Amino acid sequence: MIVWINGAFGSGKTQTAHELQRRVPGSYLYDPENVGYFLRKNMPRSLQTDDFQDDPLWREFNYKMLSSIAVRHSGAVIVPMTIVNRTYFEEIVGRLRTDGETVRHFALCASRETLLKRLRSRGEGGRSWAARQIDRCAEGLAHEAFRCHLDTEGRTIEQVAERIAAMAGLELAPDTRHGWKKRLDRLGTQIRHIRFFQ
């Protein structure tokens, strides 16, 4: 099974995905963004796009990687990735489903104010690239193609992860971490995912 966690920047995708990966035995976290950074590093500037999702190679590579992993890996594959273009979504998720793969999709939702607050907490201001994408993401994700929508307002990462696990039929291992360990894990995840060039 592939569990795709979608949502605007600041919705909690990455933290939720890491929480699931920690608590779902045998699961694997796959980050499609890494393909974009690989393409930027290994492609002439004249061939690069402003948004790597616009490059057909990014979509094809991620489809093939996820297809291969899903076939060969026995556990859940967790994918945190914002994707709001329906055509691009179909080129990856639609093709995987057509191939017979089970893909459970969840779009994490929150108000604009909450998203901006979360972005500020990780050092991104109201004019950052991520903040400028909020309206585009909200508009795109409102489409029926991006169901199931999960409201994250007032919910902890643990609660969101538990809701996704329940809806996807995934069994969670007990969380035995103390509060300080959870905060340390979250901070580590946040630091590892800072994108300095955005």
The pLDDT mean for the chain works out to 91
Q: Which residue ranges make up each domain of the chain?
A: 2-192
* CATH number assigned to the domain covering 2-192: 3.40.50.300
The answer, as to whether pTM is greater than 0.75, is yes
The count of residues in the chain is: 198
| Nearest Cα residue to 176 out of 167, 189, 185 | 185
Burial call 6-38: b when 16+ CB within 10 Å, e when fewer: bbbbbbbbbbbbbbbbbbbeebebbbbbebbee
pLDDT tens figures, 141-191 = 999 999 999 999 999 999 999 999 999 999 999 877 667 676 676 666 666
Residue 132 has pLDDT above 50, yes or no: yes
Q: Find the largest Cα–Cα distance for the chain.
A: 50
